[in-house]
Structure 1
């Protein structure tokens, strides 16, 4: 390394190659939510309450800013963005995103460090496909976002899980990371702000993660799709701050902070002031992949500079204040339901993990049965923990209109009372 470290980084020299793809046999959030929606009682005339997915845009209180809407309209009317995009994204958008992220970094990104993707989902696909090589493995958090595991399996990339520790605010079990890693480990993934846990990692913990990655000679993939959605004791700190300790791929998008998940505009950013990714050939591999994949809609790319420049802090503050209110409602109401325990009040993102005690229930054996019966009897959708790697837990979203959240939790309480074991 240029900074004098003796660490031998364990990735490099691999070029993206087109391998045979198999279907990954794994749970996904979308598949399980579709199963629960198909299980609804069609005779129940009450509105369905969606506590299982992170899309608050359907509620008027969570609408995006007019600055973003105006930017899209201006981009379309200009007729400057009706052509194909370059494969890595148009230059004005990449420049604007680099400058936007530079506000929080101790060094400067350039447009060449930014690659635009169709949402953060494609960013995950690109990175995991590029890293895949025979015998390689990647370290994923448990609980985590299951799309990582699905994509890794598609690319024949071995997955190893390290635990997040609820008793420590869902911090990474760094001892487990060191025990899991070997000479074939390429990277560890962190999701901060946390999906599904609602946690925000402190500066000190992020630094320890970077130092552990450096010690092991691996990169960090930092999923920051919920960046800046922080309303607890810890401010959001981007992992890229520690890019000089260990190289970081930052994955992000406008989906969550601007509440426009359907616009499908994301990015991969190389936070790597030591140039390790360039030397290893990984940047070239990303470009090779993007040469044979689809691009984000060009008019949305064209709107990005105006979106980033014109969105006022009042819009962000309103969103944060609303999430703080709904997080409080969720945490307080869950305490009234004896079979549910919330180990940590959420500090960020849009979710909280809740432990399910089936021993208090008469005829429910696990989290999946709980969610199926809840959807059938109460028209409330909650994601079972098996979707995120934690059996007999639930992931609950609080990013919905407060009165709807109150009603949904009240229905869950009624569901518990109906199924509670008789004393």
Structure 2
């Protein structure tokens, strides 16, 4: 018996520093809501970014058939190389040709896009360094970084400019310990799609300060009419870009956990150490699901463009519906998205003084109207809430009507109602410009 065993008087087992410091902000807020839905109204959850939740959006037969065929191959049952099977990586390289020249050696297959983001942050940043992340933004970065002692610093987006990056604020956040800049385009939670010129402005800041970019492009091509997705890697002349993507959203299969990280480094700035580091960290999970890997070439090559077009058109029309319904609601100001599958809505809290903050507003809306939206706190952005646009049309319409009723019943006074009506008249001209030319489904 060791001396340590003899001296111990009781059990002393505790979680590691990594475990104690790792928190999922969204899950933490959602799971700690102290409220029950109205028992007389079925709960409508506009909170979860899973397009499959309501069963109205499904992958096409070609995608399903690709997996059925993969089941028959013995090579889909065993381990793959830690970065993925060559054929699958080659398929991703060809599918992603819009990003620029890609070799399969620059592709690492991951267990979903979130795993790709984790790889990028873990390899580029060390304890004591910081990574710049947009606010509002998807908080998986905070979950990944803080447990490793990596600090997250926020740069602001501008709601009055369709959530463009505040370029001055972005550059002011850079210091000697900044390891990377995260850019989410198209955006979760904002639904913004950045112009080519704006992306070039961001890249120029990174170039001046010699900071690599992590491009979160899981919603690539998920853009509404009148807008265009441009990959950051296609624009960069010298800045290394680590692009993170996957099947999750565009192919409507988030549960299949198939993502990828693509290294774009035209001038070999990152060097062999970073590439080897990505391979080293990827080896922790021994590669993602081989069943989906073997199906990946067929999925990427055989899915018809018409499928993508129909899904995006449906969500665009959902965005138009929600915008038209909610812009008339006293105390709310929705911001029309340009892509992805979300809408951010400002809550004019001064018109709802009974609620301490937007979290209390959301909680009460669940208890009274059984509609659950994610509060801005989930994205480190107070006085806003996010709704998901992938729900069936009748459910979204019902949710908007309940939200409207909730606001009208809880607004502070008639005077505030008149104040809202006056402000709405002032923005009607801009509203017409935002919403025109959006096609509708016949």
What is the TM-score normalised by the length of structure 2?
A: 0.87
Does 1:98 pair with 2:89? no
Task: Specify the alignment match of 2:438 in structure 1.
Answer: none
Larger Rg computed on CA atoms: 2
Task: Specify the alignment match of 1:190 in structure 2.
Answer: 183
Q: 2:25 aligns with which of 18, 25, 28?
A: 28
Task: Specify the alignment match of 1:249 in structure 2.
Answer: 242
Q: 2:350 aligns with which of 359, 366, 384?
A: 359
Does 1:39 pair with 2:35? yes
Q: 1:315 aligns with which of 297, 307, 312?
A: 307
Q: 1:216 aligns with which of 205, 209, 219?
A: 209
For the 8 Å contact 1:211–1:245, the answer to whether it is kept is no
For the 8 Å contact 2:186–2:339, the answer to whether it is kept is yes
Does 1:419 pair with 2:394? no
For the 8 Å contact 2:195–2:228, the answer to whether it is kept is yes
Task: Specify the alignment match of 1:148 in structure 2.
Answer: 141
Task: Specify the alignment match of 2:429 in structure 1.
Answer: none
Long gaps (5+) in structure 1: 1-18
Structure with the greater relative contact order (CA < 8 A, sep ≥ 6): 1 or 2? 1
Deviations 1:37-71 (A, max 9, x none): x7333x62533212112112133431111111111
For the 8 Å contact 2:127–2:148, the answer to whether it is kept is no
Deviations 1:230-257 (A, max 9, x none): 0043201111112433110001110000
Task: Specify the alignment match of 2:316 in structure 1.
Answer: 324
For the 8 Å contact 1:143–1:389, the answer to whether it is kept is yes
Q: 1:299 aligns with which of 247, 272, 291?
A: 291
Displacement of 1:186: 1.4
For the 8 Å contact 2:330–2:411, the answer to whether it is kept is no
Q: 1:82 aligns with which of 77, 82, 101?
A: 77
Deviations 1:50-98 (A, max 9, x none): 2112112133431111111111111012232100121111111111001
Task: Specify the alignment match of 2:363 in structure 1.
Answer: 372
Task: Specify the alignment match of 1:69 in structure 2.
Answer: 64
What is the TM-score normalised by the length of structure 1?
A: 0.90
Task: Specify the alignment match of 2:426 in structure 1.
Answer: none
Does 1:338 pair with 2:330? yes
For the 8 Å contact 2:224–2:339, the answer to whether it is kept is yes
Within 5 Å, give how 1:114-125 maps onto structure 2.
114-125=107-118
Residues matched between the structures, number:
399
- The CA distance in 2 between the partners of 1:231 and 1:223, in whole Å, is 18
Does 1:290 pair with 2:286? no
Displacement of 1:398: 1.2
Greater alpha carbon shift after TM alignment, 375-384 vs 311-320: 375-384
Task: Specify the alignment match of 2:394 in structure 1.
Answer: 403
- The CA distance in 2 between the partners of 1:227 and 1:355, in whole Å, is 25
Deviations 1:9-54 (A, max 9, x none): xxxxxxxxxx952533756223333344x7333x625332121121
Displacement of 1:112: 0.7
Displacement of 1:134: 4.1
- The CA distance in 2 between the partners of 1:263 and 1:46, in whole Å, is 33
Root-mean-square deviation (Å) = 1.7
- The CA distance in 1 between the partners of 2:152 and 2:75, in whole Å, is 43
- Secondary structure of 1:57's match? coil
For the 8 Å contact 1:362–1:419, the answer to whether it is kept is no
Divergent runs of 4+, >6 A? none
For the 8 Å contact 1:371–1:382, the answer to whether it is kept is yes
For the 8 Å contact 2:22–2:144, the answer to whether it is kept is no
- The CA distance in 1 between the partners of 2:255 and 2:190, in whole Å, is 23
Deviations 1:364-414 (A, max 9, x none): 121110111111222211000010010111111112111110001111111
